[in-house]
Amino acid sequence: MGLFMTRLFAWVLGCGLIFVLAGCKSTPASLAHPDKPNFIVLLTDDQVYYSIDYMPILERELIGKGINFTRGFVTTPLCCPSRASILSGRYAHNHGVLENREPRGGAANFDDTSTIATWLKQADYRTAYIGKYLNFYDDIQPLGYVPPGWDEWHAVLDGTKPHQLYLNYTMSENGEVVQYGTDPEDYSADVFTAKALEFIRESKDEPFFLMIGYYNPHEPHESAKRHNGLFRNDEEFMDKLLPSFSEEDILDKPAWMQGLPPVEWEEMVNAYQRTVRSMQSVDEGIAEIVKTLEQIGQRDDTLIIFLSDNGLAYGEHRLSTQKNCQFEECIRVPFVVSYPRLITSPRQDDRLVANIDIAPTLVELAGATIPAGVDGLSLVPLFSDDARQWREALLIEHWQLVDGFGSIIPDFFGLRTQNWKYIEYVTGEEELYDLANDPYEMENLAYGQDYAHRVEEFSAQLQKMKDQ
């Protein structure tokens, strides 16, 4: 009997037995690893939280079949430190990648020997990374280096050339350097999605972990050619400007903000239009991924997480398409989790979750032990909405950059609680915002006599979290 007939006979026999017990409703693929769900992490770059209003497929396929965490944050609002926190489950002060480039950051400073990839590999998962990895990945030699734990590795090498991450980029494809061109089919988001679909199909008989690092919508917010005509109504986007746009009175803000000029709405509206155009290819990618999972009978057994590595300000508080800041537009990100096996009713959840929570969540669901030193919490108790206790505060960190906009922002550490935000700068300056009554952070209360006791309490709590 040939190999094909042998497999066919085994499948028919197995399905016959299952039919007696359960009506044979599941395909063989869906029974391959019932105790080990698949994991897909979809990571965007510099996506502000409110831009998901222009992603209808995300809304239908993930938010409509999962949890939209409306208070999802990154603990360091900068690409490389945030991505390192996702991969390690640790705050930046613990994993040591403090900024995007050396000497205090970049891919070369990240300990890639103990990450979510190595932990899941030890739990018998097939793993793949596709897209943008850590900044200055090109600095690691040999060129095209593949970090431990990854079975499939397709990472962009041109991490220092923003205009060459949508088209005309190079990738390490399992260590081989491959050049992509400028034709429409070379658009990076589409290439990443196609590689992801191939990996999913190849992995249908074993548990897998897939992470896609889309470059969208990072500046220059380039969109696929087919989307260039979308979202060009200025009036529609004028209505999206927040009350903090080009904030008039910034005298209560820290010194680094005092010299910021007012922002012109035309420039910011144009940038935001380009952003939501850029996100359409990612939205379409979600549809293709979900469709492929359904085809192989794995959608219900696949946990999908969608988030960004940091947010971006579009003129709020006079910050012109900037990250690194302490405001919500920089630290708050889209954060959606869909896992039909455990999340049976779609809902919004306003508890504090963060990028550091992804690694421990996946490790727990894989049946492995969460490694020592992980700062994040597993989100699993939140899936059934029965978590009796959850964190009361998150630590927010920033280190002054060598160049770029972040070079004008001094080091700061802060607390984000359910209703408050407290920031301490190395300059001795402080900020305190009552987010319940001032959600757009217009009035700094840190120096008000009525809030002195609260500032003292938050400062002590912040010191404890920094020391952990």
Q: What is the mean pLDDT of residues 131-144?
A: 95
- For the chain, the residue count is 468
Q: Which is more confidently placed, 384 or 201? A: 201
What pLDDT shows up at residue 186?
A: 98
- Residue 437, class by beta-carbon neighbours within 10 Å (0-12 exposed, 13-18 middle, 19+ buried)? exposed
What pLDDT shows up at residue 440?
A: 98
Whether residue 32 contacts residue 297, with contact meaning beta carbons closer than 8 Å, is answered with: no
Q: What is the mean pLDDT of residues 191-213?
A: 98
pLDDT at 11 over 80: no
Closest Cα to residue 121, out of 154, 147, 94? 147
pLDDT at 29 over 50: no
Q: What's the angle, vertex CA 139, arms to CA 138 and CA 145, rounded to 5?
A: 65
DSSP class of residue 409 equals S
pLDDT at 1 over 50: no
pLDDT at 161 over 70: no
pLDDT at 378 over 90: yes
pLDDT at 265 over 70: yes
What pLDDT shows up at residue 320?
A: 94
Distance, CA of 250 to chain centre: 30
Average pLDDT across the chain, whole number: 91
Q: Return the CA Rg of the chain.
A: 23
Global pTM reads: 0.92
Cβ neighbours of residue 268 closer than 8 Å, sequence gap 6 or more: 241, 245, 314, 315, 320, 321
* C-alpha distances out from residue 68 to 289, 348, 468, Å: 19, 5, 29
What pLDDT shows up at residue 13?
A: 37
Percent of the chain with pLDDT over 70: 91
Give CA–CA dist 344/388, Å, rounded.
Answer: 19
What pLDDT shows up at residue 316?
A: 97
* Token pair of 152 as six digits: 């499939």
pLDDT at 108 over 70: yes
What pLDDT shows up at residue 36?
A: 94
pLDDT tens per residue across span 294-350: 999 999 999 999 999 999 999 999 999 999 999 999 999 999 999 999 999 999 999
Whether residue 22 contacts residue 8, with contact meaning beta carbons closer than 8 Å, is answered with: no
Closest Cα to residue 47, out of 323, 281, 411? 323
Q: What is the mean pLDDT of residues 350-360?
A: 98
What pLDDT shows up at residue 55?
A: 98
Q: At what angle do helices 188-202 and 265-295 cross, to 10 degrees?
A: 20
Tell me the catalytic residues: 79
Give CA–CA dist 247/448, Å, rounded.
Answer: 20
What pLDDT shows up at residue 447?
A: 97
pLDDT at 163 over 90: no
Categorize the per-residue pLDDT at 22 as very low, low, confident or very high, splitting at 50, 70 and 90: very low
Categorize the per-residue pLDDT at 162 as very low, low, confident or very high, splitting at 50, 70 and 90: low
What pLDDT shows up at residue 5?
A: 35
Q: What is the mean pLDDT of residues 65-80?
A: 98
What pLDDT shows up at residue 23?
A: 33
Helix (H) or strand (E) holding 237: helix 234-238
pLDDT at 119 over 70: yes
Give the number of other CB atoms < 10 A from CB of residue 33.
17
Closest Cα to residue 326, out of 267, 257, 380? 257
